[in-house]
Structure 1
Amino acid sequence: MHTIHPPAVLPNESERMWAAGAHVMALVLALATSWIVGAAGVVGGLAVYLIKREDSAFAAEHAREAINFNLSMFIYACAAIAMGFVLVGATVLTLGLGLILTLPAGIALALAIAAIGVVWLVCSVIAAIKAWNGEHYRYPLTLRLLR
């Protein structure tokens, strides 16, 4: 026999608005401060989380996702910048001879940074749409630091 589960309670319009707002606010704040300073995106999600964590599990879940994703993207961007400094340092220390190795690595790093930006932008938009539609969403490549 199959167990019949009651239908899941769909979030109301206010909950969906707050959930989508967590993603949109994180996106807008991060874009307004440049994506390298993506820590501002964490502030957007955190604001929604602190306001709605007691009232709406749905909005709080989406806000946590926005916080974790923006924090993860910030960490990845910082790691990319650190690798860039290492590549420049290797080139300088070898008096330019290391350029043979660091140039291809630098190109790969630039492509990785561009990929981080595209993933961040596209996933944030998808998350906002999913939240507005009352669906759950888990960002890819996200460190789950806030549970």
Structure 2
Amino acid sequence: MNDEQVPAPMPSQEARQWAMFCHFAAFLGLVFPFGNLLGPLIVWQIKKDFDPFVDTQGKEALNFQITVAIAVVACFLLMLVVIGFPLLALVSIGALVLTIIGGIKANEGQAYRYPFCLRLVK
């Protein structure tokens, strides 16, 4: 018997595109309050039954944005003792970079898992 794992089939171009949109929908937070949560939630809810890849990447994007929202709230609370200002900048830059990486990886057909992410939506 061979112990090699069979690679998962490449998701279709449309599935990869919708998975990418799940990640990039977080940029609605730059336009609307809580858009970073609502964008991935809406795209995931609409397209989760389309393809399992879209479902997993949508959950991952939503979980990451929930984690970012919790971190931002903690930063605002820590602004009372000044440390929240640089932490908010760090969280914002990290969220921007990781969201872009997640979208690019999803478009390449690779399942991306965010580091430092609470996985509340199963």
2:18 maps to 18
Structure 2 unmatched ranges of 5 or more: none
1:40-119 equivalence runs, <5 A:
40-84=35-79, 87=80, 102=81, 106=82, 108-119=83-94
**In 1, Cα distance between the equivalents of 2:103 and 2:9?**
19
1:30 maps to 29
Q: Deviations over 1:68-113 (max 9, x none)?
A: 11111111111111222xx3xxxxxxxxxxxxxx4xxx1x322111
Amino acid at match of 2:53: F
2:105 maps to 130
CA separation of 1:139/1:7 partners in 2, compared to 1, >3 Å: closer, same or farther?
A: closer
Amino acid at match of 1:44: G
Amino acid at match of 1:47: I
**In 1, Cα distance between the equivalents of 2:42 and 2:74?**
26
Larger radius of gyration: 1
Identical residues among aligned pairs (%): 32
Please give the TM-score of this superposition, normalised by the length of structure 2.
Answer: 0.91
**In 2, Cα distance between the equivalents of 1:67 and 1:109?**
24
Structure 1 unmatched ranges of 5 or more: 88-101
**In 1, Cα distance between the equivalents of 2:109 and 2:103?**
10
Amino acid at match of 2:90: A
1:98 maps to none
Match status 1:140 vs 2:115: yes
Verify the 8 A CA contact 1:41 1:70 in the aligned structure 2: yes
Q: Secondary structure at the match of 2:42?
A: helix
Number of residues of Structure 1 aligned to a counterpart in Structure 2? 122
2:6 maps to 6
